[in-house]
Amino acid sequence: MRVGTGYDVHRLVSDRPLILGGLSIPHEKGLLGHSDADVLLHAIMDSLLGALALGDIGKHFPDTNESYKNISSLLLLEKVADLINKKGYKIENIDSTIIAQRPKLAPYIAQMRENIAKTLKISIDSISVKATTEEGLGFSGREEGISSQSICLLSRI
């Protein structure tokens, strides 16, 4: 068995869509990044890659590569799943948390879990997505950005 952790953060800006868990969420700001800046999926990918000592998403999908400009992180997650399978591992579970003051994310979590499970070709029961605020503290509390954390468990096939 292998365990991995992941963390990602992106700045909130005007004129960008807010994409979390592969889902476009209505909000007046979105996350700044080379890809779609989906902090949830980025943290999940880093936890999966880290579990197998494969580096991070910057190594596999560098922001210097124009082919990843504005790409859906669901497509990147699919590539990470292929790497895991080629290494002879399967995903047992993923537990993740989104840290954002606003918007309220509870109405979107079920669809995020579905998107992740479908992309990884695993049971939705193996995916946990939670959301919390920092009670107005720090950069997320001031609504300057959104972060996410993830942990995963992989086992050999």
Annotated binding site: 8-10, 34-35, 42, 56-58, 61-65, 132-135, 139, 142
Q: What angle do CA 95, 74, 150 make, to 5 degrees?
A: 20
Residue whose C-alpha is closest to residue 99's, from 153, 152, 43: 43
Residue carrying structure tokens 């086992």? 155
Annotated binding site for a divalent metal cation: 8, 10, 42
Distance CA 77, CA 125 (A): 18
Token pair of 87 as six digits: 């290494």
Strands 127-132 and 89-99: parallel
Q: Max alpha carbon distance in the chain (Å)?
A: 44
Tell me if 94 sits within 8 A of 77, measured CB to CB: no
